[in-house]
Copies of this chain bind each other. A is one copy, B any other.
Amino acid sequence: MNKQLINIPKSLLCNCIDECFANKPAEDGYKLWLRYAPLPLETIDALKPRIRGLMSGAMSQTLSIACTELERGLSSMLLDEFACVSTTVPFDGAILFGTAKDHPLIAEQRLLLEPLGKEGYLIKSVEIDDASVTLIVGNDDMGVLYGCFAFLRMVQSGMDISQLHLASVPKLDLRMLNHWDNLDGSVERGYAGSSIWDWWTLPDYQDPRYADYARANASIGINGTVLNNVNASPMILNGDYLKKAAKLADIFRPFGIKVFLAVNFATPCVLDGLETADPMDALVRQWWKDKVAEIYKLIPDFGGFLVKANSEGQPGPGDYDRSHADGANMIAEALAPHDGILIWRAFVYASDPGTDRATEAYDEFKPLDGAFLPNIMLQVKNGPIDFQPREPFSPIFGQITETPVVLEFQVTKEYLGQATHLVYLGKAFEEVLRFDTYADGEGSTVARIIQGEIFPQRFTGMAAVSNIGNGRDWTGGIFNQANWYAFGRLAWNPELNSEDIAREWVRLTFCSDEAFVEPVVEMMMSSHETLVDYMTPFGLHHQMATGHHYGPGPWIDDLKRPEWNPSYYNQADEAGIGFDRTDRGSGAIRQYAPELWGLFGDKHGFDEKYLLWFHHVAWDFKMKSGKSLWDSLVIRYDTGISNVEVMQSTWQELKGYVDCRRFAQIEAYLAIQLREAKWWRDACIAYFMEVSGLPLPEGHEKPGHTLDYYKSLNHPFAPGNPE
């Protein structure tokens, strides 16, 4: 056994023995985008005159976090030692951070700070008594902390900081992660290990990772977190678990992050034996008031609840013939005296199995618009189905006008290749945000809707289903970190450009060398389209296998409910393929603004990316390219695969720029992605060939196996699958 010389991959050994090529120490991804890697010496030389010391005044907990962050970040990037000094004597190259009331020099500047509002910041180069000083200021401590993180981003990116004048204000009030974490430590749709919350040892033991989590979120402006799964265990509201949640809230507080909990509508019955959870029952109403009061004693700044009701088996007011508004109002009433908010999810379907699933949320909630109490927000998934690789926007955006609407994205890639596929979601999020709803004429983009620019909202917000787990790199893969990052940045400002965000992330996560940055950004920017191509081109959706949603299953047609079947969504038959949502079909397009009816209803007119979402189309339908739909479909699948191959070769060429450990992970993941892309292509083409009876267009390879083979595959231990 001893003498066998079987190859160990170099990547592995080099981690194991701390040796890396290119003299780059192996990194495990734990530091995320806050690596504070030393800058090139010429950049240091250029920055140094402007960054000679840190000045501050009085220190709150939040400002002392800002101080530490600046000390740590600048010391590491500029290879020098920085320490905050409490002084009122200006000096050249000082970075002065705080609020106007913390420091007289800030107050003396008479800056126009009012527009910064809550949480906004101003970074400004000024001269004070002949000294060049960089101010990082806000109206409140969180604004200052956000400004410090922004300043550190600029330094890490090697930007010129000599003439700064940058004000930034978050455009949404609530920028929130939703953890689908169960109390047993499993994570629904989690592909990065188990939950980072060790409920079992909380509140006694506080894993240092909790603070690292808060810091990472604060660095990108996230200010709320729902700790537990929307398929909520009633136990989360048990006194023991509330103490655990309160401990997390204590840790997160100085980082500006409020704790929310997902709650189960039937909790009064399950936890305390009430006979009903009927929202009109006086005992039930009192139960919620008492429970909320108990929570606010433990967590004075508790954010509120998130509720998934009467959806996918969850209990809800419908169990008692009450409306969503009845249920929501009862809980919101309990929260209101404490300034808590209730976020009610609009993700419902199957109330009537005969209808198009895409129409159901709108049908259910549109009539209730206006019936909700003022501290209620409606949380709406970006599309009308369920986080598919591509969906048009949900018609609720723009059509629900009297209830604040929170946009819900999914950062964890349940339907997008899960942990291993390289898919930059910033691009996909941007596509949704820039979609024009025409709700109040042209320019009524989803981004403007959720900012309350079209219809005023008392609160605004954006939420994302988290991809965070206890894996060392947090997200089960380095590139998945970019999706957490992009969500945070877009929640701060939904108008940001996804390519700029990608570029920023690459610089912080790897390095600022353009020869590396640009190819990687290009790879990221095309990655979403690539996935759509090999998975669900031209508006196809929900073609994933059952339960775990891993891999293709377009043939599946035997599940209990029609809308659980991929075949329900592809509607593929001898004649054609696609879901008819025009007036000839489900009529779903009528849920959108009239300006869109003609566009979505015309199979020749609109973007072919959405063709099969809205239309059942003949196989020989002539696409804009002049080719038939069938030929075009096959071409798309193959384009997807060749684009993954391009990513692979791009990555190989970048070998010298990345430490061996992260390089090897991405290399291995791309190999998995390529294999699975081919599996998707082959399985889908095999099925559609059988259904259509059509031969492959010339020059395209036959699937590697028979359709029966693809049907026979099963994956009993696929991760992230709920019970």
Stretch in contact with the other chain, from A498-506, A631-639, A661-669: A661-669
Taking CB atoms, residues of chain B closer than 8 Å to A471 are 470
Most B-side CB within 10 Å, residue of A19, A250, A675:
A250
Do A8 and B668 contact each other (CB < 8 Å), given the known contacts A2-B142, A28-B208?
no
B8 contacts A254, CB within 8 Å? yes
Q: How far is the CB of A588 from chain B (nearest CB, A)?
A: 36
> Hey, what's the 0/1 contact readout for A1-14 against B, CB within 8 Å counting as 1?
11111111101110
Q: How far is the CA of A599 from the CA of B671 in the complex (A)?
A: 65
> Hey, what's the 0/1 contact readout for A63-81 against B, CB within 8 Å counting as 1?
0010011001000000000
Identify which of B211, B256, B258, B664 contacts A16 (C-beta below 8 A): B211
State the majority secondary structure of interface residues on A: loop
Q: Does A716 contact B (CB under 8 A)?
A: yes
Q: How far is the CA of A472 from the CA of B207 in the complex (A)?
A: 10
Identify which of B1, B26, B669 contacts A301 (C-beta below 8 A): B1
A2 contacts B62, CB within 8 Å? yes
Do A204 and B5 contact each other (CB < 8 Å), given the known contacts A16-B212, A211-B16, A716-B235?
no
Number of A residues contacting the other chain (C-beta, 8 Å)?
A: 73
Q: How far is the CA of A6 from the CA of B212 in the complex (A)?
A: 18
Q: How far is the CA of A301 from the CA of B1 in the complex (A)?
A: 7
B68 contacts A17, CB within 8 Å? yes
Q: How far is the CA of A200 from the CA of B718 in the complex (A)?
A: 7
A16 contacts B204, CB within 8 Å? no
Which chain A residues in 633-691 approach chain B with CB under 8 Å? 661, 664-665, 668-669, 671-672, 675
Most B-side CB within 10 Å, residue of A4, A215, A258, A669:
A4
A256 contacts B2, CB within 8 Å? yes
Q: Does A194 contact B (CB under 8 A)?
A: yes
Taking CB atoms, residues of chain B closer than 8 Å to A2 are 60, 62, 140-142, 256
Do A205 and B16 contact each other (CB < 8 Å), given the known contacts A2-B60, A717-B183, A717-B200?
no
Do A61 and B184 contact each other (CB < 8 Å), given the known contacts A28-B208, A205-B668, A470-B471?
no
Identify which of B17, B183, B208, B719 contacts A12 (C-beta below 8 A): B208
Identify which of B16, B61, B184, B718 contacts A208 (C-beta below 8 A): B16
Q: How far is the CA of A13 from the CA of B672 in the complex (A)?
A: 39
A185 contacts B719, CB within 8 Å? yes
Which chain A residues in 189-239 approach chain B with CB under 8 Å? 193-194, 199-201, 204-206, 208-212, 215, 235
B72 contacts A17, CB within 8 Å? yes
Q: How far is the CA of A26 from the CA of B207 in the complex (A)?
A: 13
Taking CB atoms, residues of chain B closer than 8 Å to A719 are 184-185, 200
